[in-house]
A and B are shown apart, each in its own frame.
Chain A
């Protein structure tokens, strides 16, 4: 089963996303901060990272820099699922592309169904590669 690393600092949202995705037969490792995310990625080798940018202690950008600095994680697709709208995120499309961000989703406009559809579109292709 595809393994998803979920980086979500909010307890309630983290539970909602992980329970929903587990019901769809994904293996979900939910962590709340960047450090745990790096540790978990090293242990579980995720097929996809789903993450909020606004984290406690470290920023999502710091995590992205660190995550992409390792060779084995450079092709892992990343979906940003944030409470910041894309228009307000102070990073250009070019930098997002350099980070290999596959999708940028705005939480208030993303239903769980939308989210699972986006993940399903990315993961089957990834699993066959």
Chain B
């Protein structure tokens, strides 16, 4: 009889290269850290149901959102390490609009809690792209939550609009998140990628923290040759990726 964890490891090993010792250590750590966050999430939900007090409900909502954000980051990291070690990526046709809708829905309250307004721009029809749905969703979610935190940490205007956008360009379907403030430049992003993990604030002009959401998103999107790039959209500034269309499906 095969144990689940052994079977899982065997499966991962069979389809992937060997993880380095550091990868294995951090994979293990990341898996372990998920549990307390799940416990916090549930405890916070229980608090909301037990007490009708609006202040408890508001605090509990904040705890829930923060825990979800942390879990999403951990999941993104795990997925990126696994994908980097896979010899053959499992690609599938993915609707970028649908992933962006889901991200906007999951982060709407998180944005409000940071005094930001999250808008969607998904006008027009876009064909499917070849990617991995979970990876695209996790990448965009982590990128967007990091963007929300970064904008919120720098600004105190009551209306801080962020826009999650999808549009077509010459290479494929471009999607990203934008704000009215030019927080990042291409050179800053390139430098940040070089010093990531070595300093506490690799993107000090952008983010007061480690910028992990951006790096996790970039690591995931690079698996589809679609790294994050500094981009502009309707007078706004941000980070975007361009995913290649699924030509096979477009022919149908």
- In B22-73, the 8 Å CB interface with A consists of 31, 34-35, 37-39, 41-43, 45-46, 49, 68, 71
The distance from the CB of B135 to the nearest CB of chain A, in whole angstroms, is 10
For the complex, would chain A's binding face be called helix, strand, loop or mixed by DSSP majority? Answer: helix
B10 touches A13 (CB 8 A): no
A89 touches B1 (CB 8 A): no
A53 touches B34 (CB 8 A): no
Q: Which residues of B contact A60 (CB under 8 A)?
A: 4
A41 within 8 A of B: no
A71 within 8 A of B: no
Query: Complex Cα distance A121/B46, Å?
Result: 21
Measured as residues with beta carbon below 8 angstroms from the partner, the interface class of chain A is 20 to 34
Answer whether A90 and B8 are a contact pair too, CB < 8 Å, given A59-B1, A83-B34, A108-B37. Answer: yes
B42 touches A54 (CB 8 A): no
Query: Complex Cα distance A57/B41, Å?
Result: 27
Interface string of B80-115 (1 = CB under 8 A from A): 001000000000000000000000000000000000
B121 within 8 A of A: no
A88 touches B8 (CB 8 A): yes
Answer whether A84 and B134 are a contact pair too, CB < 8 Å, given A108-B37, A113-B45. Answer: no
B5 touches A16 (CB 8 A): no
Closest partner residue, chain B, to A17 (CB atom): B42
Query: Complex Cα distance A90/B9, Å?
Result: 9
Answer whether A61 and B38 are a contact pair too, CB < 8 Å, given A112-B46, A113-B45. Answer: no
Query: Complex Cα distance A54/B40, Å?
Result: 20
A10 within 8 A of B: yes
Query: Complex Cα distance A77/B31, Å?
Result: 28
Query: Complex Cα distance A78/B43, Å?
Result: 24
Q: Which residues of A contact B198 (CB under 8 A)?
A: none
Given contacts A84-B8, A88-B8, A113-B45, 17 further A-B contacts (CB under 8 A): A10-B35, A10-B39, A13-B42, A16-B43, A17-B42, A59-B2, A61-B2, A62-B3, A83-B31, A84-B4, A85-B75, A90-B4, A90-B8, A107-B34, A107-B38, A108-B71, A112-B46
